[in-house]
Amino acid sequence: MKIAVVGPGALGTLLAGFLRAKTKEDVWLVDKSPERARRIREEGIRIEGMSSISVSINTSANPKEIAPCDLVIICVKSYSTEDVCKDIKDLVNDNTSILTLQNGIGNVQVLNDHFGADRVIAGVTNHGATLLGPGHVRHAGRGDTIIGMSNGKILGPMRDAANLLTKCGFETKISKDIDSVIWSKLVINVGINALTGITRLKNGMLIQYNGTREILRSAVQEAVKIVKRKRIKLVYDDPIQKVESVCKATAANISSMLQDVLNSKRTEIDYINGAIIRQGKALGISTPVNEVLTNLVKTIESSYEEAEEMN
Ligand code: PAF
């Protein structure tokens, strides 16, 4: 099987390293930066923390060089999904399946529009990863991975993808209602990501302080109102308890949004808390806490230079 992992961020690097180390498949890592791709090609992938892996990996910034794959796994930030669909056209032919394991909502629709719903596999993973440098990642937490198709079908290529991920160490289940799974993950990200980005706290600390715990609960409650109105059934019964348990389980994690803030990078706020605001507006549900969180994260993103000057 020929596999391309698109996006050399924390999750993409972790997954590519696992696929390369634990399977005999032809695995490629796709990086839009030729310079960084060259470095990863020369130095390979190093994983530390909960796993210890050191492997070489075919890495390229040129999809033409890779040619069509059986499976393309999208691990780029949500704001790049639209562009990536055009960039990866040489990786895709009629037999290619496209799997997304991105945070936030909206990605599946973009991929469905470009490639057709019968070829797009949606999913979430609860593995935690921190990027330490090009090709260098800390495996910060284990969790399950759930995949499914937005049209509810269970097709052969999806089963193959689930088996492949499980074989490489990403224990994967299949769901017939992947929309609920994606919303269930979104609610967790709504509670954790912006608050960690603003406070610069690790996940576990959010529930140690009364102030952050209260804001976390309020943000989650707003998201749950939307979930209920949309008649989405979350995969857990008590959303606040679930988000707090994820904080505990990933206590030492630097959330993906905090990693972006620490690296002065654009965050996925528009696809997480920002998505709650948009959905709230469409449904007539007010989301003041998510608005404040979104505005604060956007202010942080806009003022990286000023913050740098003060250091
Ligand atoms: O985005 C993240 O960092 C992760 O999805 C999560 C679950 C919040 C753990 O850090």
Give the pLDDT of residue 244.
97
Give the pLDDT of residue 197.
98
pLDDT tens figures, 255-270: 999 999 999 999 999 9
Give the pLDDT of residue 38.
98
Q: How many independent structural domains does the chain possess? A: 2
**Does residue 104 sit in the same domain as residue 134?**
yes
CA of 152 to the centre of ligand 1 (A): 26
CA of 9 to the centre of ligand 1 (A): 14
**Does residue 185 sit in the same domain as residue 159?**
no
Nearest CA-CA partner of 192 in 221, 161, 217, 162 = 217
pLDDT tens figures, 206-248: 999 999 999 999 999 999 999 999 999 999 999 999 999 999 9
Cα–Cα distance, 255 to 198 (Å, whole number): 11
In the annotation, is 167 catalytic? no
At 219, list the tokens.
């943000």
CA of 28 to the centre of ligand 1 (A): 25
* Domain membership of residue 141 as a residue range: 2-176
Name the residue of 11, 76, 142, 193 whose CB sits within 8 Å of the most ligand 1 atoms, as the mutation to test its pocket. Answer: 193
**Does residue 202 sit in the same domain as residue 108?**
no
**Does residue 60 sit in the same domain as residue 149?**
yes
pLDDT tens figures, 69-83: 999 999 999 999 999
The residue that leads in pLDDT, 141 or 198, is 198
Give the pLDDT of residue 250.
87
**Does residue 52 sit in the same domain as residue 78?**
yes
Give the pLDDT of residue 130.
94
Q: Which residues contact 241 (CB under 8 A, 6 or more apart)?
A: none
Q: Which residues contact 76 (CB under 8 A, 6 or more apart)?
A: 6, 7, 9, 12, 84, 102
Nearest CA-CA partner of 65 in 23, 40, 94, 31 = 31
Name the residue of 131, 188, 256 whose CB sits within 8 Å of the most ligand 1 atoms, as the mutation to test its pocket. Answer: 256
